[in-house]
């Protein structure tokens, strides 16, 4: 199913779920559970509570669905709701503000000085594990923009809406995130294993 | 074309550069080794990030979430447990409505009249028929009323 048809289907399911159709909502949960969980992981970082927060996000989404007008993609709207759930969780921990703000970019320059692994070709799984580990080392805002752009393929406008930051900021943060990941991968992976 | 700045490079890598500009930028990359190296590095990072799938949640996540949602809506939860699919709910509603209408029609044609006969009242006096409840109430207030009919709503029982 191509992207536009998938989005149209997701919006149809969201409208149905907004009328109280739990079956439609269950289908939406199946489509989005790993993606929202990953987004939460990007913002919060590895944490025991990310699964609970994902549940919380879906419950918030279900309750807010009657107000979903369908004038944007459901995914963009769902990420915006999830972002607010993360903000609430961070506020409780006294960490709000360090997450999607400029301060979150401070780790950009800190690239570990280590030699790449030996020149042998790594398996795909090992390479993926190293890439994931390097992404985890990035700041929350860099993880979030990389996930939304590279995996979710959201447009700049959609990312700005999901993250509640200006469009120009999306561009500059995406550049910084790509540059930071590139620097890390150069250090961590043999050249043959870089995609 | 001059060298691409950071944001233009990001637009190109992320596919957010408009077609004509993108073609010009790609032509520039063929001639400029510095921009080509930068483009290659950022593209590699983007492809690597795109190849790292989300970490999967446990398989029973959806079931647990739906149970929690169901529990947060007690009345609706009961209904959904009894009638799990929307067509079944519609059918059950139609059946229930039909039964209520049928019962009302049946009662109209065969049931007891809504107009209650003068009730049989047992008192400590000789057996007698009472007046309708409102009539002469003040004179009977102190009597013991026992009736084989419902005097409250005239339901016929």
pLDDT, tens digit, 9 for 90 and up, residues A36-59: 999 999 999 888 889 999 999 999
Supply the pLDDT for residue A93. 82
A-to-B residue pairs, Cβ atoms closer than 8 angstroms: 114
A20-33 mean pLDDT: 95
A150-166 mean pLDDT: 93
Looking at the predicted structure, is the pLDDT value of residue B100 above 50? yes
CA of B71 vs chain A CAs: smallest distance (Å): 12
Which range among A41-50, B51-60, B92-101, B132-141 shows the weakest confidence by mean pLDDT? B132-141
pLDDT, tens digit, 9 for 90 and up, residues A160-186: 999 999 999 999 999 999 999 999 998
Supply the pLDDT for residue B142. 45
CA of B49 vs chain A CAs: smallest distance (Å): 6
CA-to-CA distance for A177 and A185, rounded, in angstroms? 12
B62 and A37: CB-CB below 8 Å?
A: no
Which range among A103-107, A122-126, B13-17, B89-93 shows the weakest confidence by mean pLDDT? A103-107
Please state the domain extents for chain A. 3-92, 102-193
Helix and strand tally (H, E) in chain B? Answer: 7, 2
**Partners of residue B64 in chain A, C-beta under 8 Å:** 55
Q: Which helix (H) or strand (E) holds B51?
A: none
What pLDDT band is residue B138 in, cutting at 50, 70 and 90? very low
Choose among B10, B50, B76: nearest Cβ to A174: B10
B86 and A132: CB-CB below 8 Å?
A: no
Which range among A71-75, B13-17, B90-94 shows the weakest confidence by mean pLDDT? B90-94
End-to-end CA distance of chain B: 97
**Chain A CA closest to residue B86:** A21
Q: What is the dihedral of CA A191, A195, B4, B9, to 10 degrees?
A: -140
**Chain A CA closest to residue B10:** A175
Phi-psi region of A101 (alpha: psi -120 to 50; beta: other; left: phi over 0): beta
**Partners of residue B85 in chain A, C-beta under 8 Å:** 23
**Partners of residue B56 in chain A, C-beta under 8 Å:** 34
Which has the closest alpha carbon to A32: B64, B62, B68? Answer: B62
Q: How is residue B126 written in tokens?
A: 């000789």
**Domain A102-193 is in which class?**
mainly alpha
| Any B CB within 8 A of A67 CB | no
Q: What secondary structure does DSSP assign to A42-99, as a single string?
A: HHH-S-TTHHHHHHHHHHHHHHHGGG--SSS-HHHHHHHHHHHHHHHHHHHTT-TTSS
- CATH (residue range A3-92): 1.10.1740.10
Supply the pLDDT for residue B139. 46
pLDDT, tens digit, 9 for 90 and up, residues A99-134: 565 555 544 445 555 555 444 455 677 778 888 889
Across chain B, mean pLDDT equals 73
**Chain B CA closest to residue A182:** B45
pLDDT > 90 in chain B, percent: 35
pLDDT, tens digit, 9 for 90 and up, residues B59-87: 999 999 999 988 877 555 454 554 455 56
A16-20 mean pLDDT: 92
Helix and strand tally (H, E) in chain A? Answer: 8, 0
pLDDT, tens digit, 9 for 90 and up, residues A67-96: 998 889 999 999 999 999 999 998 888 766
User: B113 or B2: whose pLDDT is higher?
Assistant: B2
CA-to-CA distance for B92 and A192, rounded, in angstroms? 64
**Chain A CA closest to residue B5:** A175
CA-to-CA distance for B119 and B117, rounded, in angstroms? 6
B49 and A135: CB-CB below 8 Å?
A: yes
CA-to-CA distance for A57 and A61, rounded, in angstroms? 6
Supply the pLDDT for residue B101. 83
Is the Cβ–Cβ distance between A111 and B11 less than 8 Å?
A: no
Beta-carbon contacts of residue B26 (< 8 Å; ≥ 6 apart) = B12
Length of chain B: 157
**Chain A CA closest to residue B77:** A22
Supply the pLDDT for residue A110. 54
Q: Report the SS3 class of residue A31.
A: helix
CA-to-CA distance for A2 and A190, rounded, in angstroms? 34
What pLDDT band is residue B58 in, cutting at 50, 70 and 90? very high
């Amino acid at each position: 199913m191509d992207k536009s048809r998938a989005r149209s289907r997701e919006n149809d399911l969201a409208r149905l779920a907004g009328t109280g159709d739990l079956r439609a909502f269950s289908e939406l949960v199946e489509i989005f559970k790993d993606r929202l969980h990953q987004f939460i992981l990007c913002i919060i970082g590895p944490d025991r509570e990310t699964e609970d927060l994902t549940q919380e996000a879906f419950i918030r989404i279900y309750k807010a669905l009657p107000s979903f007008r369908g004038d944007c993609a459901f995914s963009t709207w769902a990420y915006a709701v999830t972002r607010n759930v993360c903000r609430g969780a961070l506020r409780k921990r006294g960490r709000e503000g360090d997450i999607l703000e400029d301060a979150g970019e401070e780790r950009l320059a800190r690239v570990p000085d280590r030699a790449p692994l030996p020149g042998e070709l790594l398996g795909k799984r090992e390479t993926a594990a190293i890439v994931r580990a390097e992404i985890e080392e990035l700041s929350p805002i860099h993880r979030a923009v990389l996930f939304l752009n590279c995996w979710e393929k959201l447009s700049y406008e959609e990312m700005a809406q999901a993250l509640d930051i200006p469009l120009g900021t999306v561009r500059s943060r995406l550049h910084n995130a790509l540059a930071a990941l590139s620097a890390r991968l150069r250090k961590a992976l043999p050249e043959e294993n870089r995609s | 074309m001059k060298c691409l700045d950071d944001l233009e490079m990001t637009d190109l890598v992320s596919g957010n550069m408009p077609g004509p500009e993108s073609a010009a930028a790609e032509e520039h990359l063929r001639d400029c080794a510095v921009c080509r190296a930068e483009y290659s590095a950022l593209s590699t990072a983007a492809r690597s990030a795109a190849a790292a799938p989300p970490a999967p949640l446990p398989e029973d996540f959806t079931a647990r979430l739906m149970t929690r949602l169901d529990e947060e809506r007690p009345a609706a939860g009961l209904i959904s447990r009894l009638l799990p699919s929307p067509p079944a709910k519609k059918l059950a509603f139609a059946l229930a409505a039909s039964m209520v209408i049928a019962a009302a029609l049946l009662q109209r044609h065969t049931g007891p009249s809504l107009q209650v006969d003068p009730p049989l009242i047992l008192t400590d006096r000789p057996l007698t028929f009472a007046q309708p409840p409102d009539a002469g109430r003040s004179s009977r207030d102190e009597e013991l009323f026992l009736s084989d009919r419902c005097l409250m709503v005239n339901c016929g029982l």
